[in-house]
Chains A and B, each alone.
Chain A
Amino acid sequence: MSTLTKILIVLLTISSIFLCGIVVTYVANADNYMEKYQNLKSSKDSLSKEVDSLTKQVNEKIAQKRQVEDKLNDKISSLNTEFTAMQTELGNSEREKAELLQKVNNWTSITKDFYQTNDKQGQLLKNTLGELERVRTEQIKQSKELNETTAALVEKMAIIETLQAKTKRLLEEKSELQSRLNQIYQPIGVAAAGTAPVTQQNTKAMPVRPETNKIGLNGLVTAVDIKNSMAGISIGLADGVKEGMKFHVVRDDKFVCDILIIDVDSEQAVGVLDLVQKQPKVGDKVSTNL
């Protein structure tokens, strides 16, 4: 065996040892790619499953979100409708409020005017009442004067009637005397004029009074004025009382006096006392018939 061959064998051996060492080192340190692949694959599968589940959850969430969104949209639309209606109602309420405020203002002004008018009317009423009181006082005075005048007139009329009757009776006596004279002087041939009186002498002439016996009115004495010999009764023109009527005043079935009516109002009357036996009082019964 030549030297060269020997050298080649040695080199071959050295190189084989070196290369085999490199290979063994590499193989010993090499990674297990299949295991890594399987690990990665399993992790990928799990991740895929997780992705699927998450996708499902996301889809469910999206569906829920859409449902909630639809519900909220419906609610928003209904609330918008309600809001529009409430805005319309608010506008109507504001208009009504303005109208009511206007009415309140009008009523306030009317009330103020009414109060002012009421005050004026009150003042006017006071003045009118004062005037009425004054007129009543004056009326009472005039009534008294009228009564006095009426009484005087009645008395004068009675005197006139008496005088007229006396005159008539004198004329009749004169005529009677004349006729007697004619009878006396007739045989002589002298004639005498005159006629005999036919009317009897009347002591006192009374005014004609209305017929009261057939009426049958009943009432009460409401006022008595002893000074002026006057009294008021509770019945008047509405009950049929007339001026000149005579009422009899009784108390406990006893005669008190008579009242000769001289003034009649619708619900009451005033008269002069006559034939006073007792002093009349308020509440005594009056009637046309005893």
Chain B
Amino acid sequence: MDSFGKTPGVKPAASSNLYTIILVFSFCIVVATAALVAYKCYSQYDTIFKIW
């Protein structure tokens, strides 16, 4: 194995879409959470960032 973590002699292959989907899923969860928080803030305080 060299300094970049590649095993010499092994052919590089394209990454699996499974992890991409997992990442996208995670991202969607975070975005949804942020949207929920923004919605709650706006609905309760009429603003998203400034409370007062």
A27 at the interface (CB under 8 A from B): yes
* Contact of A32 (CB < 8 Å), options: B5, B22, B44: B44
Most chain B CB neighbours (cut-off 10 Å) among A17, A20, A30, A33? A20
Q: Would you list which residues of chain A between 8 and 51 have a CB under 8 Å from chain B?
A: 9-10, 12-13, 16-17, 20, 23-24, 27, 30, 32-35
* Contacts A2-B5, A9-B19, A35-B44 given; does A16 touch B36 at CB 8 Å: no
- What's the Cα separation between A216 and B32 when bound, in Å? 173
Q: Are A12 and B26 in contact (CB under 8 A)?
A: yes
- Contact residue among B16, B22, B36 (Cβ-Cβ distance under 8 Å from A27): B36
Counting contact residues on chain B (CB < 8 A from A), the size range is: 10 to 19
Chain B residues numbered 1-40 whose CB sits less than 8 Å from any CB in chain A: 5, 15-16, 19, 22-23, 25-26, 29-30, 32-33, 36-37, 40
- Determine whether the beta carbon of B36 is less than 8 Å from that of A9: no
Q: Using known A-B contacts A1-B16, A27-B40, A34-B45, determine if residue A20 contacts B32 with beta carbons closer than 8 Å.
A: yes
CA distance A10 to B19 in the complex (A): 8
State the Cβ distance, B43 to closest chain A Cβ, in Å: 9
B26 near A13 with CB under 8 A, answer: yes
Interface residues of A in 212-233 (CB under 8 A from B): none
Q: Is the CB of A20 within 8 A of B29?
A: yes
Residues of A contacting B33 with CB < 8 Å?
20, 23-24
Which residues of chain B have C-beta atoms less than 8 A from A5's C-beta? 19
Tell me how many residues of A have a C-beta within 8 Å of chain B: 19
**Is A6's beta carbon under 8 Å from chain B?**
yes
Chain A residues near B45: list those with CB within 8 A. Answer: 34
Q: Do A27 and B37 contact each other (CB < 8 Å), given the known contacts A1-B16, A32-B44?
A: yes
Task: Report Cα–Cα, A2/B19, bound state, in Å.
Answer: 11
Bound Cα distance A50, B33 (Å): 45
- Complex CA distance for A24 and B40, rounded to whole angstroms: 10
CB distance from B49 to the nearest CB of A (A): 14
A residues near B19, Cβ cutoff 8 Å: 1, 5-6, 9-10
- Cα A12 to Cα B26 in complex, Å, equals 8
Q: How far is the CB of B19 from chain A (nearest CB, A)?
A: 5
Q: Measured between C-beta atoms, what is the minimum distance from A19 to chain B in Å?
A: 8
Q: Are A20 and B22 in contact (CB under 8 A)?
A: no
Shortest distance from the beta carbon of A4 to any chain B beta carbon, whole Å: 8
* Alpha-carbon distance between A12 and B46 when the two chains are bound, in angstroms: 33
* B15→A1 contact, CB < 8 A: yes
Find chain B residues with CB under 8 A from A17 CB: 26, 29
Q: A5-B19, A23-B36 are in contact. List 9 more A-B contacts (CB 8 A).
A: A1-B16, A6-B19, A13-B25, A17-B26, A20-B32, A24-B36, A27-B36, A27-B40, A34-B46
Residues of chain A whose beta carbon lies under 8 Å from any beta carbon of chain B = 1-2, 5-6, 9-10, 12-13, 16-17, 20, 23-24, 27, 30, 32-35
25 contacting pairs across A/B (C-beta < 8 A): A1-B15, A1-B16, A1-B19, A2-B5, A5-B19, A6-B19, A9-B19, A9-B23, A10-B19, A10-B22, A12-B23, A12-B26, A13-B23, A13-B26, A16-B30, A27-B36, A27-B37, A27-B40, A30-B40, A32-B44, A33-B44, A34-B44, A34-B45, A34-B46, A35-B44
